[in-house]
Chain A
Amino acid sequence: SQTIHQWPATLVQPVGSPLSLECTVEGTSNPNLYWYRQAAGRGLQLLFYSVGIGQISSEVPQNLSASRPQDRQFILSSKKLLLSDSGFYLCAWSPNSQETQYFGPGTRLLVL
């Protein structure tokens, strides 16, 4: 069976510091990978998605970037965090673009 991992589970960072969140998937190959952010009172918002190694598509302009260095690894980064980057970050995977997306446990980020 497939398993998706995210770490860290929680993170408190000062404004202006860098960020690196990691997501890995086990039990499948060549998955589609997604980064979402969930803010209080708002629906989940897609930030980035990837259909293969090195292929990244951005949905919204922002202070964040994503990379996919390996088939089942997806990284969310920032060079300098803003207060508005606080939120609950969720990684998801799907077998292909037409099928269900399955979510990881999430990372709670608080920028102070």
Chain B
Amino acid sequence: EDQVTQSPEALRLQEGESSSLNCSYTVSGLRGLFWYRQDPGKGPEFLFTLYSAGEEKEKERLKATLTKKESFLHITAPKPEDSATYLCAVRQGGSEKLVFGKGTKLTVNP
């Protein structure tokens, strides 16, 4: 049973076209939701950690939000260099393990 589901699987945007990526989760006792960016052939790069519903964090054109059931990664006026796979992961209370979704592959066309 999937605990973390990311949608859409792939997203194509034009440069400047804002959109959102979704990460829904079913774990109980959430002890952190993590967003990473992964470029082809490289390790995931940390973006944000969110701990409680209502929390928001921003970095450049990215903004992450969290509710009790899902998180959104909002991308404002994206540029081609924002093209990557975005991964979402959750940690359940009492566990060392991060459970990852399968990712959303974002392509931003110039």
Q: Does A49 contact B43, Cβ atoms closer than 8 Å?
A: no
Q: Does A32 contact B43, Cβ atoms closer than 8 Å?
A: no
Chain B neighbourhood of A57, CB < 8 A? 96
Chain B residues close to A by CB (< 8 Å): 4, 31-32, 34, 36, 41-46, 49, 87, 89, 96-103
Our pick among A6, A59, A104 for the contact of B97 (Cβ within 8 Å) is A59
Q: Does B96 contact A41, Cβ atoms closer than 8 Å?
A: no
User: What is the bound-complex CA distance between A57 and B97, given in angstroms?
Assistant: 11
Chain B neighbourhood of A99, CB < 8 A? 49
Q: Does A43 contact B102, Cβ atoms closer than 8 Å?
A: yes
Chain B neighbourhood of A45, CB < 8 A? 100
Chain A interface size, under 10 / 10 to 19 / 20 to 34 / 35 or more:
20 to 34
Interchain nearest-CB distance for B90 vs A (Å): 11
Q: Does B100 contact A98, Cβ atoms closer than 8 Å?
A: no
Given known A-B contacts A98-B31, A108-B41, A43 and B46 have beta carbons under 8 A apart: no
- 17 CB < 8 A contacts A-B: A34-B96, A43-B100, A43-B101, A43-B102, A43-B103, A46-B96, A49-B96, A98-B32, A100-B34, A100-B46, A101-B34, A101-B46, A101-B98, A103-B43, A104-B43, A106-B41, A106-B42
Q: Does B41 contact A41, Cβ atoms closer than 8 Å?
A: no
Any B CB within 8 A of the CB of A66: no
User: What is the bound-complex CA distance between A59 and B97, given in angstroms?
Assistant: 9
Instruction: Return the chain A residue nearest B88 by Cβ.
Output: A43
**A-B interface, 10 closest residue pairs, ranked by CB to CB distance from nearest:** A43-B100, A103-B43, A44-B100, A106-B43, A103-B44, A46-B97, A43-B102, A105-B43, A49-B96, A100-B49
Instruction: Return the chain B residue nearest A88 by Cβ.
Output: B41
User: What is the bound-complex CA distance between A107 and B36, given in angstroms?
Assistant: 18
Chain A neighbourhood of B46, CB < 8 A? 100-103
Chain B neighbourhood of A102, CB < 8 A? 46
